Structures are given as structure tokens and as C-alpha cells.
Amino acid sequence: MGSPELTTTDLSTSRNTAASGRSSVIDSIWGCTGSTIQKDDLRKRITIPEYLRVAMREAIQNKDVDSVMRHYDMANAAGAEPPQPSESPIIVFINAKSGGRHGPELKARLQDLMGEEQVFDLSAVKPNEFVQYGLSCLEKFAALGDTCAKETREKIRVVAAGGDGTVGWVLGCLGELKRQDRDPVPPTGIIPLGTGNDLSRSFGWGGSFPFNWKTATKRILDRVANGPICHLDSWNLVISMPAGEAMETPYSLKTSDCASLDQQFLYTLAYVSIVLSAYVGSVCKLQAMELEIDGELPEKSSYYQGVFYNYFSIGMDAQVAYGFHHLRNEKPYLAQGPLSNKVDALLIYSGYSCKQGWFFAPCSSDPGLRLGSE
């Protein structure tokens, strides 16, 4: 069986290498019949030295890299034994709300297989905080001559345990390293805990959470430590909308300052001419189309920026995803696992289809459909 691939977002590279996905059934069988991975050996290879992982955790909690310099001083004091870097240091981000009842259990399992400080619950620590303070801590120690911190920063790999939204969120935050000239960008492996798991399936990590997940967790971490790396295409998306009240945005979007775009430039974009080329034999025919908008552009606009990898949703598709997200938050007992999530999502899609989509009614402006609430 081929090894799954870790993804990295290198903006200077545009290459897709997709490994065929495997079902959780095959993963489970492989986990039972494959060679045994010794827990102690795995822990030794992936656990970050204590002074570094504690310093990273405290830097994130304090939101201040300078506040943890005592850990550097103690590890590099005169006469102290030089700390040794681990072979394959790993950091895990887990969305404990994903995967039904498996989320909290998987978190405990991961903490048992490596340093507890290396497992971040996304409800408490955001990936951007890890980039801003955790990795900056390693970089500062390395700049002061700490070879263990330098090697750990160069070798560190990341695991995103969750659905496509979780994976995209982690990749988007890590991608900021490239824009800040803070190479290398840590490659990312996936533990599929979501409903769709499209990115996980595309890169060979499986389409669903394995049945024998306790054994499979060791194998996944071993694959993260040794797996090949490939690049993942990414796109930057900017959304413009009339300025109004402040709105709560998902983690995948952030406010963007596009004040430099004057009104005339916006009108130029709105009334752009597109040239279409059509080849008939050796003759090139050019046609021009004028695009217009209804009404007037607003005087002030708000801009939101995000990164997407395989697709993004607008219109009714996004409305369904939004409704399903609220269903899980408001009625978690209806979303106990991947199978029930898929059933619930199917019911929501069916509800929207019968309510508006298939009968040519306009999409409602209020994405308020909730399973069992109407």
C-alpha cells in the first residue's frame, strides 16, 4: 500500500500530487495485519524535548515569547547536558467536537502517545496563535544558538485532526509563514474526523475515521513522521460587501483592508470587457461581452479575505453548510458521529431542495433551517 502524503502550502509552487483515498475498512484491516508499532519507540521519535514544548505552550498562553526565556537559560546553562532533538517532532491540532464521541477520546489517546503540550485543542488554542507565538519561540531560541530548537523548527510536522474546515484552517494559518519569509512551512498530515473529509481522502489519509482507531492512531503518527511531502494548490479569495454592522466571521475568513481600491477602480472591475477567443480551423474570432451590474455600488464596502484549496461554497450550498453547522452546535445529540452527520446533512439538503431549490423559488435570505425546528 502506498504511503499517504503530507501537504504543504508553498505559494511559489503549484503542483498537485494526489494519492488515492482508502476507506476506513481497509485502514482497519491494514492496522490489524501490518507490523506492530511500539508505543515507546514512537513516543521517543515524535516527542519534543520537554523544555521546548513547555516553552512553546507558555509562549502561546502568555502571548509573549520573551516571557519564556528562562527555559532557554536553564537548558543552555554552563555545565548542563546539551538537549537532544527528537527525530520527527509532531504537533497536533484537534477539533474535539468533530467525530462524534471519538473527539475527546482521540485527544486523550494522542496526549498519551506524545508530550501533552504537543496536542492543542482548537477550542483553546488557535493555529494562528501557534504560528505567532509557538513557532516564534523555537525561532528565537534557534537565533540565540540553540541547535536543538533550530533542528526542531526545521523538522516539525503538523497533524490536523478534524474535517475539511479544520484542515483548511490549519493550512491557511501555516501558509502565513511563507508570506512572512519564515521557512520552512511545516507539512501537514490529517486524521479524518469530519463528514466529507475530501482533503484527507485526496492525500491518502482515508475518507473516515478508522474503526480500530486506537491502533490506527499510532500508525497515522508513524506515517506523519515518515510520509512523503507534496505541494497543494491554494487560492486567495476576497469578498466585497456593503459596509454595515460588524459581523462574526468564520475562522477561515479575516477582515481585509482594501481601502486603496478607489471607487473608479471598482467601477472598472464592474464594467470590465471580457474577450473570448474561439478558434475555427486556423481562424481566430474575437467577441467582446459587456458585463453590467444592477443598481449602484455602495459608497463604502467591507472586505473579507480567506484561502481555499479544493472548493468554496456560495448560495444555497453554503446555506446548507451553514445550517448544518448550527445544527451540530445547537443540537449535538443529533450529530453523534460521521454516519449520523451524513444522514442529518442529507435531510437538510432535502429540506432546502423541497422548500426552494428544486421548485425554482429564490433562496431565502435567512439561513435558518434547522432539523426539527420548523
What is the C-alpha separation between 349 and 144, in angstroms, rounded? Answer: 56
> For residue 55, is pLDDT > 70?
yes
* Segment 1-11, tens digit of pLDDT: 456 766 665 43
Could you tell me what percent of the chain has a pLDDT over 90? 35
The predicted pLDDT at position 17 comes to 37
Query: Model confidence at 343, in pLDDT bands (50, 70, 90)?
Result: low
Q: Which residue did the predictor score with more confidence, 235 or 134?
A: 134
Sequence-distant (≥ 6) Cβ neighbours of residue 84 within 8 angstroms: 49, 148
**DSSP assignment, residue 203?**
B
pLDDT of 260 reads 45
Confidence category of residue 25, pLDDT binned at 50, 70, 90: very low
Q: What is the Rg, in whole angstroms, of the alpha carbon atoms belonging to the chain?
A: 24
Residue 371 pLDDT > 70: no
Between 326 and 56, name the one with better pLDDT: 56
212 pLDDT more than 90: no
Contact yes or no for 164/197 (Cβ under 8 A): yes
Mean confidence (pLDDT) of the chain: 75
- Position 133 confidence tier, pLDDT thresholds 50, 70, 90: very high
Alpha carbon distance 189, 180 (integer Å): 22
pLDDT exceeds 80 at position 68: yes
Q: What pLDDT digit, counting tens, does each position of 168-183 carry?
A: 889 989 988 988 999 9
- Give the residue, 281 or 307, on which the prediction is more confident: 307
Of the segments 88-102, 123-137, 258-272, which one has the largest average pLDDT value? 123-137
Rounded distance, CA 79 to CA 76, Å?
8
Q: What is the pLDDT of residue 261?
A: 46
The yes-or-no verdict on residue 20 having pLDDT over 50 is: no
Cell readout for 286 is 474575437
Query: What is the DSSP code string of 113-168?
Result: HS-GGGEEETTT--HHHIIIIIHHHHHHHHHTT-HHHHHHHHH-EEEEEE-HHHHH
Using CA atoms, how far apart are residues 136 and 149, in angstroms rounded to an integer? 11
Q: DSSP string spanning 63-122?
A: T-SGGGHHHHHHHTSTTPPPP---SS-EEEEE-TTTTTTHHHHHHHHHHHHS-GGGEEET
3-state secondary structure of 239: strand
- Is the confidence at residue 40, as pLDDT, over 90? yes
Averaged pLDDT, 95-101: 74
Of the ranges 18-32, 65-79, 277-291, the best mean pLDDT one: 65-79
Q: How far is CA 138 from CA 46, 52, 132, 144, in A?
A: 16, 7, 11, 10
Residues 310, 169: Cα–Cα separation, whole Å: 13
Contact between 196 and 342 under an 8 Å Cβ cutoff? The reply is no
Whole-number pLDDT of residue 359: 45
Mean pLDDT of the region 79-103: 86
Whether the pLDDT of residue 302 is over 90: the answer is no
Burial of 95 (0-12, 13-18, 19+ CB in 10 A): buried
Per-residue pLDDT at 367 exceeds 50: no
User: Between the CA of residue 136 and those of 55, 59, 125, 257, what are the distances in Å?
Assistant: 11, 9, 15, 25
Look at residue 283 and give its three-state secondary structure.
strand
